[in-house]
Structure 1
Amino acid sequence: MDVLDELERRITAALQLNPRASWRTVAQVLNENERTIARRGSELLAGGRIAAVGIRSRAASLLVRTQCAPGSTPVTTEALAARADTSFAYMVTGSTDVVAEIVTSRDRLAHLVSIELATTPGIAHAETLPILKYFRTIRSWRIGALTRDEADQLIGSRPPQADGTLTEPNLSAQDQDIVDCLISNARMSYEEISRRAGVSETTARRRVEWLLRSDSVHLRLLVEPAAVGLPVEALVWLRIAPDKIDRIGESLRRDERVRYAAALAGSSQIVVDVTLATSSELYEFVTQSEWASGVDSFDLTMVMRARKRGGRLNDTALA
């Protein structure tokens, strides 16, 4: 995979903080020529090396850990990734073959678990682990290419979107159309949103701002960790006494190496997605982090292929 150069990383880092930032704003913050930023940023987006997407808020999420019939892991990965309600789908090492996150509504959980997953091609066994709380999602993951002052300029006075909420707002049909626009392209112009949603540009701007403030849709900038020098990715499944879950979860939330951490109902109490530069750093993460002494035991699965991230199919991951 091509690794982003320094300017590409800085553009990516800027859009992580503010996916809808104009090229003019990014150029001013990075102290670069606006035409250069617009050209290089547009090339990153058009080439699929980065993607700005939205994720719809839902009241229920669960992780699915599947064991597949011999030779069927790619089929199962494709089937889970193709679901519209799947946030991510990974092929992994160990006793589990595929891990996916499904974001849905509470009234669909029973049918999802008993029928849909049971009839998914290739699955021999599936463990479902409802998510109780997010400590960190990829909205909070940063590649660290900006100074504190640059980051503050991009965030400005916008209130940060919370990571831990599991809600499903009651939206009008018009707002649903606008959310659909942001899901397909978080950087879609207000002019295009107004055309697709059948509203004025002023209304489109006002409703987008409300949808973001109310956490009805979450925006994020997707980039493959390997493209920013972090080719080692692992899922760490922690088993923890109940009275330690919050403390360890908060420690993980503060750890810049963590892409994602969530409290679960099931055989593991917390799952962590971590991306690092080397296997030695992964060893250090699981043995020397401040939370390590509070964990009863853990499993470690390496991510071999990410077929889907942030609701977006990742074609290059299976190349």
Structure 2
Amino acid sequence: MADQVLDDLDQSLVCALQVDGRAEPGRIAEVLGVSARTVTRRLARLQQTGALRVVRLPTAEEAAPGALLLRVRVLRGRVEAIAQALAARPDVPFVDIMLGGHEVGAVVLADPGSRDHLVHAQLPATGAVVETSAHAVLHVFADAGRWRGGRLTAEQVAALEPEPPSARPPALDGLDRGLLAELGEDARRSHAALAAALGAPESTVRRRLARLAAGGLLRTHATVDPRLLGMRVDANLWLDVPPGRLAEVGERLAGHPQVHGVFATSGAASLMATVFCPDHAGLYRFTTETLGPLGVSRAETVIVARAVKRAGVPLPGGPVPGGRPPGRRAATG
């Protein structure tokens, strides 16, 4: 299905769920000017075919402390095994295989002990890893939860936006953590389904979800192959930006409709941006027309050959240049 582009309505439905992943079909139908039955049928088909999955995404405040951006250079022929072993870890929500078949990129959200054990012990122990560079996230300008596909008008986006957080994040108990875990698998689960899964009254579930939403903990992410939205090139841009302009450039890029992540990082590059483009010519235009005027002094462009895992969701795969099916379990598991 990734070789095809979704039709206009399906793309609009995906974009609506990018704004609010728990929006009711009736609300989406009213904003898009179609029937609720059509919305329900279309969304069910997108989810059943695996084209769309909506999950709860940790807030930047939850995820950023200790987060690492990993670049793992791998022996040719072993990239698939390392990528799948990283993707199997619950503390690694994003894994990409880069064009050329010898580099894996990953985001690690782990406590310092687990993080250091992975980088300094487990990855080197595989014998397949040539080099690992780890870049600490110093500041999040935008992450995957802020990306919008651009099919909706500003008025439609405003009509779908959930209420902004009105309170500090609450202290969590077992039921709260259970709800967040369930929504991490499927953020569109109904109140009744959540109540049945956790053995709690539906009224209690409704009340708890409202409290979690007020505390800003119900942020969602609509996981979709960007090729279905006409974006066939996914690239990581490692940028050198003068310190005095770092905040300005980060904020400008965060507001760009093709950018789905911007992070200030440690290491040789001071900023990393992830960008979707319709084709390679579009990536060239983004580099010259968007990055050029911002005063970026150097840009290393790394193109993603295949996304293996996004926002904690494993994605269907295909053959990778230089890859082969994993044999023995890699030591990163």
The structural deviation recorded for 1:170 is: 5.8
Give distance in 2, aligned partners of 1:314 and 1:273: 18
Task: Verify the 8 A CA contact 1:305 1:318 in the aligned structure 2.
Answer: no
Q: State the structure with bigger RCO (CA 8 A, min sep 6), 1 or 2.
A: 2
Task: Verify the 8 A CA contact 2:264 2:272 in the aligned structure 1.
Answer: yes
Which residue of 2 is the match for residue 98 of structure 1?
104
Deviations 1:181-200 (A, max 9, x none): 00010001111112222322
Which residue of 1 is the match for residue 24 of structure 2?
22
Which residue of 2 is the match for residue 159 of structure 1?
164
> Of the candidates 113, 122, 128, which is equivalent to residue 116 of structure 1?
122
Which piece of structure 1 moves more, 257-266 or 292-301? Answer: 292-301
Give distance in 1, aligned partners of 2:286 and 2:185: 35
Which residue of 2 is the match for residue 285 of structure 1?
286
Seen in structure 2, the aligned counterparts of structure 1 residues 253 and 291 have a Cα distance that, compared at 3 Å, is farther
Question: What secondary structure sits across from 1:220 in the alignment?
Answer: strand
Among the aligned pairs, what percent are the same residue? 29
Q: Let me know the Cα RMSD of the aligned residues.
A: 2.4
Deviations 1:57-82 (A, max 9, x none): 33321111011012111111111111
Q: What is the correspondence of 1:173-184 to structure 2 with a 5 Å cutoff?
A: 173-184=174-185
The structural deviation recorded for 1:202 is: 1.9
Task: Verify the 8 A CA contact 2:165 2:216 in the aligned structure 1.
Answer: no
Q: Which amino acid aligns with 1:77?
A: A
> Of the candidates 8, 11, 14, which is equivalent to residue 12 of structure 1?
14
Give distance in 2, aligned partners of 1:145 and 1:201: 35
Which piece of structure 1 moves more, 106-115 or 262-271? Answer: 106-115
Q: TM-score, normalised by structure 2?
A: 0.87
Which residue of 2 is the match for residue 171 of structure 1?
172
Deviations 1:99-120 (A, max 9, x none): 0111123453333332233335
Q: Does 1:261 align with 2:297?
A: no
Which residue of 1 is the match for residue 326 of structure 2?
none
Q: Which runs of 5+ in 1 are unaligned?
A: 162-167
For this pair of structures, how many residues does the alignment match?
313
Which residue of 1 is the match for residue 309 of structure 2?
308
The structural deviation recorded for 1:48 is: 0.8
Q: Which amino acid aligns with 2:205?
A: A
Which residue of 1 is the match for residue 323 of structure 2?
none
4+ runs deviating over 4 angstroms: 290-293, 316-319
Q: Which amino acid aligns with 1:123?
A: V
The structural deviation recorded for 1:140 is: 1.3
Q: Does 1:134 align with 2:140?
A: yes
The structural deviation recorded for 1:249 is: 0.4
Q: Which runs of 5+ in 2 are unaligned?
A: 321-333
Q: Which amino acid aligns with 1:144?
A: G
Give distance in 2, aligned partners of 1:133 and 1:46: 36
Seen in structure 2, the aligned counterparts of structure 1 residues 6 and 318 have a Cα distance that, compared at 3 Å, is farther
The structural deviation recorded for 1:94 is: 6.0
The structural deviation recorded for 1:290 is: 5.4
Q: TM-score, normalised by structure 1?
A: 0.90
Give distance in 2, aligned partners of 1:129 and 1:11: 35
Question: What secondary structure sits across from 1:118 in the alignment?
Answer: helix
Q: Which amino acid aligns with 1:54?
A: R
Q: Which amino acid aligns with 2:8?
A: E
Seen in structure 2, the aligned counterparts of structure 1 residues 215 and 122 have a Cα distance that, compared at 3 Å, is farther
Task: Verify the 8 A CA contact 2:233 2:278 in the aligned structure 1.
Answer: yes
Give distance in 1, aligned partners of 2:99 and 2:294: 25
Which residue of 1 is the match for residue 235 of structure 2?
234
Give distance in 1, aligned partners of 2:243 and 2:102: 24
Give distance in 1, aligned partners of 2:303 and 2:46: 27
Q: Does 1:147 align with 2:153?
A: yes
Task: Verify the 8 A CA contact 1:307 1:318 in the aligned structure 2.
Answer: no
Task: Verify the 8 A CA contact 2:55 2:187 in the aligned structure 1.
Answer: yes
Give distance in 2, aligned partners of 1:107 and 1:92: 27
The structural deviation recorded for 1:217 is: 5.0
Give distance in 1, aligned partners of 2:311 and 2:81: 20
Give distance in 1, aligned partners of 2:192 and 2:71: 42
The structural deviation recorded for 1:281 is: 1.6
